[in-house]
């Protein structure tokens, strides 16, 4: 374990249950295919990032919502098992927990998210937890919660001088003010094309030196370092399930940055963590511990 101070990470985002079918191929419209297996595992981009950060040694507080159903109970128990604080994960009365309906087929996943209780991560709700946000070393946020909430959190962070890592997934348009408030923005190539529609990727990167980090899957992570565009390569592994790799990347990046590592070193650490995460089934199944990442890096 490194001697770095323990990072205080706050994650604002979704908590869901992943309903995962593995199948030899995806059905077309109107078609039925026979699948191989079905499993229910904890997921949701926010929850995944919180669990990943905790496994990497951070002190983590989750700000989110679950339903008052049995899935919500399982999600809360999973947080506790992974040492994530759930003081600010309040069940919503008479509402289902969020679910993600995932098909693993032909070497990739396709996902339909039903936000349900995640839509109740409202501006008012996060305002009540503003003190937690202000006292964090870094805040992580994604886009499976209302856009207005993301904007409010970005304002709280800027006013408090707390860096915000915006993982703009799934893709949607983002207000210029929110982009300005985020210390780091981590889209994949598709998300980047939606956010920066009308300009080239190179132009977008140059407009946001050292803060726009575009994840390009097995190719690595591209950013503009103030002098040139560079790519931090990823680590090659045999992937079993890529679900949650992006979440592991974002969490590891946040932990390393909060500990004071350089941007290039933080990306390398995050790439290593993400590469380990895909070697097991489930979004959280392969998320590595700190010791596992450090052993792999050395």
Q: Which of 103, 243, 250, 277 binds ligand RIB (CB under 6 A)?
A: 243
Spatial CA neighbour of 215 closest among 260, 168, 164:
168
- Contact in structure between 152 and 125 (CB atoms under 8 Å): no
Spatial CA neighbour of 195 closest among 177, 175, 216:
175
Residue numbers 76-105 binding ligand RIB by CB under 6 A: 100
244 touches ligand RIB by CB under 6 A: yes
- Closest to ligand RIB by CB, 52 vs 162, is 52
Structure-block tokens of residue 259: 């500990």
- Give me the helices (H) in 223-289, please: 245-258, 263-277
For residue 82, give the H/E element and its range.
Answer: none
Active site residue 247: yes
- Closest to ligand RIB by CB, 113 vs 205, is 113
- Closest to ligand RIB by CB, 16 vs 215, is 16
* Site size with ligand RIB, rule: CB under 6 A: 15
Which residues are annotated binding-site positions for ATP?
A: 188, 215-220, 246-247, 271
43 touches ligand RIB by CB under 6 A: yes
- Closest to ligand RIB by CB, 7 vs 104, is 104
**Residue 41: CB minimum distance to ligand RIB, A:** 8
Is the sign of the CA dihedral 66, 72, 77, 82 positive or negative? negative
**Residue 51: CB minimum distance to ligand RIB, A:** 10
**From its phi and psi, is residue 69 left (phi > 0), alpha (psi between -120 and 50) or beta?**
beta
Q: Find the Cα–Cα–Cα–Cα dihedral 181, 11, 260, 155, rounded to 10°.
A: 20
Quick one: which segment of 26-34, 44-52, 187-195, 211-219 binds ligand RIB (CB under 6 A)?
44-52
Quick one: which segment of 176-184, 205-213, 242-250, 288-296 binds ligand RIB (CB under 6 A)?
242-250
- Give me the helices (H) in 105-242, please: 123-127, 130-134, 147-160, 176-181, 189-195, 201-207
Q: Which of 11, 12, 16, 191 binds ligand RIB (CB under 6 A)?
A: 16
What Å distances lie between residue 147 and 45, 89, 154, CA to CA?
15, 19, 11
Q: Which of 48, 143, 149, 215 binds ligand RIB (CB under 6 A)?
A: 48
- Closest to ligand RIB by CB, 142 vs 261, is 142
What CA–CA distance (Å, rounded) separates 121 from 92? Answer: 10
- Contact in structure between 249 and 270 (CB atoms under 8 Å): yes
Query: How far apart, in Å, do the first and last CA atoms of the chain sit?
Result: 12
**Residue 202: CB minimum distance to ligand RIB, A:** 27
**Residue 6: CB minimum distance to ligand RIB, A:** 25
Which residues are annotated binding-site positions for K(+)?
A: 241, 243, 277, 280, 282
45 touches ligand RIB by CB under 6 A: yes
Catalytic residues, by residue number, are 247
Instruction: Enumerate binding residues for ligand RIB (CB under 6 A).
Output: 16, 18, 43-45, 48, 100, 111, 113, 144, 243-244, 246-247, 283
């Amino acid at each position: 374990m490194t001697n770095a101070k323990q990072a205080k990470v706050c994650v604002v985002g979704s908590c869901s249950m992943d309903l995962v079918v593995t199948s030899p191929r995806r059905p077309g419209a109107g078609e039925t295919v026979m699948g191989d297996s079905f499993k229910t595992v904890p997921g949701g981009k926010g929850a995944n990032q919180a669990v990943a950060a905790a496994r990497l040694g951070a002190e983590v507080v989750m700000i989110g919502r679950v339903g008052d159903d049995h899935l919500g109970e399982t999600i809360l128990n999973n947080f506790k098992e992974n040492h994530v604080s759930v003081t600010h994960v309040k069940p919503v009365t008479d509402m289902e927990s969020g679910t993600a309906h995932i098909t693993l087929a032909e070497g990739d996943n396709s996902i339909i998210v039903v936000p349900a209780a995640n839509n109740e991560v409202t501006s008012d709700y996060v305002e009540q937890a503003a003190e937690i946000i202000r006292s964090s070393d870094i805040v992580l946020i994604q886009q499976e919660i209302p856009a207005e909430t993301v904007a409010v959190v970005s304002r709280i962070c800027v006013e408090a001088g707390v860096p915000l890592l915006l993982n703009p997934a799934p893709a949607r348009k983002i207000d210029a003010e929110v982009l300005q408030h985020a210390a780091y923005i981590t889209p994949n190539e598709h998300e980047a094309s939606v956010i920066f529609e009308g300009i080239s990727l190179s132009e977008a990167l140059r407009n946001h030196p050292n803060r726009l980090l575009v994840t390009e899957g097995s190719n690595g992570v591209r950013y503009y370092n103030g002098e040139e565009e560079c790519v931090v390569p990823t680590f090659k592994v045999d992937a079993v399930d890529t679900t949650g790799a992006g979440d592991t990347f974002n969490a590891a990046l946040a932990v390393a940055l909060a500990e004071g590592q350089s941007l290039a070193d933080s990306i390398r650490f995050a790439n290593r963590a993400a590469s380990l995460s895909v070697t097991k089934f489930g979004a959280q199944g392969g998320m590595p511990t700190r010791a596992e990442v450090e052993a792999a890096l050395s």
